[in-house]
A and B are shown apart, each in its own frame.
Chain A
Amino acid sequence: MTDLTAMRYEILLAAALVMLLISGSIKNRGRNRYWLPLSLLTIITAIGFMPLPDKILFGGMFLSAPITAVLKIIITCLTLVILIQSASWLKKGADRNVSDLFSALLLLSLLGCYFMISSGHFLIFYLGLELSTLPLAGMAALGGDTFRRTGSGFRILLHGMLASALMMFGFSLIYGACGTLYFSELIRIHMGSTVQVLGFFFFLAGMAYKISIVPFHFMRSEIIEDSQISAASFILVISTGTAILMLNVLIYNLFPSIPEIWQKTLFIMAVVTVTVSNLAALWQKSLMRFLAWTSMAQAGYIIIGIIGRSQAGMAAVIFFYITFAFSTLAVTGSAAIIREQTGRSRIEDLKGLYKSNPLIGLVMTVAFLSLAGIPPLAGFFGKLLVFTAVAEKGFFFLLLTIAPNLLISLYAYLTVIRTIFTTGEEKPQVSYFRSDPATRIGLIICAGGTILSGFAGFLLEFIKNFSYGV
């Protein structure tokens, strides 16, 4: 009988999901059981840190290696933070009936991410991708302004379908040219024929949709703006993040024979993405839209690390992702509580935020500075590692094209920070409010991570040691 201990994460998460659904069906409608998903996910996270055997299951379809365990731990911890930050929204208001549904969809999407990470075959990868994307549409459409939220859900579906179609076509071409979709066999095949390269491009286009790399980025900002903020956080950090991490792993391992092709392609995509997103961010009026564009720019920086095509580059990408995730969650957490307490969500509503709510103002400032890459915050070290990885390969032209972008993005972030710190006679738009303990814990974790992870040299060594197992 197959030893399924290597599928511990997936089995536990599926069990948690079933428990959640059963509990949802037997409980009294309207009574909130927010603690159930939270405690289930906490247990899974805690168990996740226990050692896991290296295994190949189902004839190579499912892989369990040190790196897959590390990636799963990272995204599970971040999902836990998102769930903690959603507490306030889930516990009260008109949305209380959707609490269980939201949590179940969140766990379902996370399960999809797990399968993507552990896939050893493009089919499992595809199924994981679908499983992680489809629940997002439901999550985004829950609660609040029904028309806009539903629109956002439909957009996610449409976006997901386009990504799937392109990727499926790519897989077909790769299968046609190589005769297999098993990663273990693809690694040994020397790619280079037109069909194989075409297959790679379609695969890349599908992933680009998922990550929202220019020119596959359309509807992204609308999706993030109109979705429920917890769902938007999940899309920005977990869904996009898993896709980036997997692109990093797959492109490095499966397409080593066509490095020049994907390096050049990613080079152009990264520069265009970073430039377009940073310029677009300058004109945004809505905070979540601003965040959508700037996180696309951050994705562009992460792609630069992939171009480095080295062990150091891979570790740098994962480290950058962690720093990005903490900073982004700090902003989305703050935006969520501000929207919930005051109903405001425009950038200009943050005027005088530091005066009325100094702690939230500070958390947002720290997060934005980290995203801008200002030392000694974590974002700086993330960028430094990525840039060092590409500099070692001699891509100085790329760095020189990125330097003005750092300035543009800094200007965009500083404009928002300036708004937060604006003083003056007029009353701050957001008046003082007391946030609930869960939100505070969530924000403290994110701000702490943003400040401290740059000092955690051991974290990088830890990731680097594990990325050898890919």
Chain B
Amino acid sequence: MSILILFILIPLLSIIPILSAGDAEKAKKAAVTGSVVVTAFTVVIAVIFFVSGSPAGYSEYKFIGDITWFRSLNMHFITGADYLTVLMLLAASASALAGIMIPVRDRERTKEFYVAWMTMTAGINGFIVSLDLVMIYLFYMIALFPLFFLYIVRVEEKEKLLTVSHFAVLMGGAFILLVGILGMYTNSVPDGNELTFNILHIKDYLMPAAAQRVFAPMVIAGFGILGALFPFSILFPAGTFTAPAPVAALFYGVTMKLGAYGALKLVIGLMPDGAGTLSNLILILSAAGAVYGAIGAFMARDMNKRSAHASVSFSCVLFFMLFLRNETVTNTAFILMIIHAVAVPLILLYSEKTGKAV
């Protein structure tokens, strides 16, 4: 068992004090405390990671833990962190901490709100630290699904179509991703060996090029939908317009970036041939998405909408940078990602506190 499992357990355990809190204020305090603990823990892990190892070993996975889940499927709960994982964790925890400071306008069901929020945080962290394809999918869903309870169950009838369609598109992406993952599983090892979901093993073996070209587009489609790659981005800002500010902050700050991060981990990392075949298309789509998002942000008259459009644009920029497949550009992309992940919630926090829409 790895220490990284605490990234999932701390948010989940903080649900207990939230549920047992007497009123909304206490529930919020419990949620903030949980977020502070996660952030502090991330900083500790980051310090240990960067101080203990030399820069040459940063791209190797550390803190690896392995728990068997379904032995006959060779499905394990494997966790591990390389430097990109640590950077992503920093972005996620900082964004979650900043986001939870934003006041919730709707006072009804505050406890449920923070429970869903913490579940979402656990899902995001789990997605980042997992090294098993099924676990990645599982946490991907846990990171996304609370959105339904956080705002979609409350939307008015007239906004229902857009929000529900947005959520449906996200879920559709997840199901395509699942097929892609099963394809990776069936091609994960040379013939005759036991199939595996373990990313480290798949990386060592390198899938056959033909299989990569079939399944890379499915995985890209799944992550591209989450990462608002053009043309999937069209529904995004309108779909999340009615989301409460903290939810929008976490979604645009971190969740959406999981799309680009997942594409890096599974497609560029495990299916380089597939990524190579697709890279030109992805560059064109992401450039188009970046321009589309930028124009949308310029036209928007509301801070929530504007940051949504800007985040769509930024997410496409991330895809663009990652699919250039250059190490320096990738590192730059991650630094930008952290800045953006903190900036979005802070802007929304400012907007909520001051009441200034634009």
Contacts and interface: CB of A to CB of B under 8 A. Distances in A.
Q: Do A and B come from one complex?
A: yes
B72 A312 contact: yes
Given A391-B186, A396-B183, A457 B71 contact: yes
B141 interface: yes
A375 B182 contact: no
A192 interface: no
Interface string A190-224: 00000000000000000000000000000000000
Given A391-B182, A392-B195, A457 B168 contact: no
Contact of B152 (A387, A418, A464): A418
Nearest to A312: B72
A182 B310 CA distance: 70
A19 interface: no
B20 to A, nearest CB: 16
Contact of A407 (B69, B148, B168): B168
B59 interface: no
B179 A400 contact: yes
B108 A414 contact: no
B30 to A, nearest CB: 20
A406 B175 contact: yes
Interface in A378-416: 380-381, 384-385, 387-388, 391-392, 394, 396, 399-400, 403-404, 406-407, 410-411, 414
Given A394-B186, A423-B154, A388 B176 contact: no
A401 to B, nearest CB: 10
A418 B153 contact: yes
How big is chain B's contact interface, by range? 35 or more
A399 B72 CA distance: 21
Interface string A298-317: 00000000000000100100
Contacts of B182: 387-388, 391, 396, 399
How big is chain A's contact interface, by range? 35 or more
Contacts of A60: none
A460 interface: yes
B71 A388 contact: no
Given A391-B182, A392-B195, A399-B182, A411 B138 contact: no
A434 B208 CA distance: 60
Interface in A359-385: 369, 374-376, 380-381, 384-385
A462 B134 CA distance: 21
Contacts of A455: 69
Instruction: Give chain A's interface secondary structure class.
Output: helix
A403 B221 CA distance: 13
A358 to B, nearest CB: 10
Interface in B139-192: 141-142, 145, 148-149, 152-154, 164, 167-168, 171-172, 175-176, 178-179, 182-183, 185-186
B73 A385 contact: yes
Contacts of A381: 70
Given A399-B182, A423-B109, 19 more contacts: A312-B72, A315-B72, A374-B141, A374-B145, A375-B141, A376-B142, A380-B138, A380-B141, A391-B182, A391-B183, A396-B214, A403-B176, A403-B179, A414-B167, A418-B152, A421-B154, A455-B69, A457-B75, A461-B72
24 contacts: A312-B73, A374-B145, A376-B142, A387-B178, A388-B73, A391-B183, A391-B185, A391-B186, A396-B183, A399-B182, A400-B179, A403-B172, A403-B175, A403-B176, A404-B175, A407-B171, A407-B175, A411-B164, A418-B152, A423-B109, A423-B154, A455-B69, A460-B70, A460-B72
The 10 residue pairs across chains A and B that have the minimum distance between CB atoms: A391-B182, A421-B153, A375-B138, A403-B175, A457-B70, A406-B175, A407-B172, A375-B141, A399-B179, A457-B69
Interface of A: 312, 315, 369, 374-376, 380-381, 384-385, 387-388, 391-392, 394, 396, 399-400, 403-404, 406-407, 410-411, 414, 417-418, 421-423, 455, 457, 460-461, 464
